[in-house]
Structure 1
C-alpha cells in the first residue's frame, strides 16, 4: 500500500479493487457462517442491535458497492455478503430502516455512522 505525503500530513492510498465484494466462501464455511450468523441478521431489531450481535461473535459490517459485507473484527477481512447468507441489504433495510452510512473516499464503500 503506497504512502503519500501531502502538505506534510501522511495518508495512505488504497488501490481501487476490481471487485470490492468478497469471493464466496467454500461450501463447508458457507454452511457454518449461515448457521452461525444468519440468526443474528434475521432477529436484529435495529442496526445497533445487529452490530452488537455480530460483534459478540467477532464480526462487523461494512457497505461495498451497494451490498452489506460482513467483516472479521480481528483482521478487518471481508468474509461474505448478507445476500450470500440469504439476508440481503434490501430486506434488512425494509425491516430495520435505511442505515445511516458514512461513505468512504471514492464513494463505493462505507460504514455505519
Structure 2
C-alpha cells in the first residue's frame, strides 16, 4: 500500500479560503468572467471556458472557488464575482465533485 500526502495528491491548502477581493478587482473579475458564467449550459462548459482563460473550479467548505490554473492557488469565491454556488447549482444542476480525503475540499469531476 502506498500512502500519498495531501500535497502530493493535489489537495494542498485545502483548509484555506481566499481573502476577499477589493471592490475594483471584483468588478473587473465580474466583467471578465461574467459572460462565461452566463453562457455555460453545464458544469463541463463552465470548466472548459474558465480553463481557456486560466482558471479552474474547486470547492471548499461548501463554496465555489476560482483557482489560478498555473499555480493552483485560490483567487476568489464564486460569490465574489457574482456567481455563488447555490445560484449556479440551481441553473446547471448539482456539480459532480471528487472530494478530498479530509472532506473539506473537492474538484469538479467534469
TM-score of the aligned structures, taking structure 2 as reference length: 0.85
Q: Partner of 1:3 in structure 2? A: none
Greater length-normalized contact order (CA 8 Å, ≥ 6 residues apart)? 2
User: Superposition pairs for residues 84-95 of structure 1, below 5 Å?
Assistant: 84-95=80-91
Displacement after TM superposition at 1:27 (Å): 2.7
The 10-residue stretch of structure 1 (26-35 or 101-110) with the greater mean CA deviation from structure 2 = 26-35
Structure 1: state its 5+ residue gaps: 1-6
Comparing both structures, which one devotes a greater share of its residues to strand?
A: 1
Note the C-alpha offset of 1:90: 0.6
Tell me if structure 1 keeps the 8 A contact 2:67–2:75. yes
Q: How many residues align?
A: 104
Q: Deviations over 1:38-94 (max 9, x none)?
A: 221122100110001101100010000001000010110100011111111011111
- Give the TM-score normalised by the residue count of structure 1: 0.83
What is the aligned partner in structure 2 of residue 4 from structure 1? none
Question: Paired residue for 1:81?
Answer: 77
CA distance in 2, matches of 1:39, 1:67: 20
Runs of 4+ in structure 1 over 6 Å off = none
Tell me, which stretches of 5 or more residues in structure 2 are unaligned?
7-11
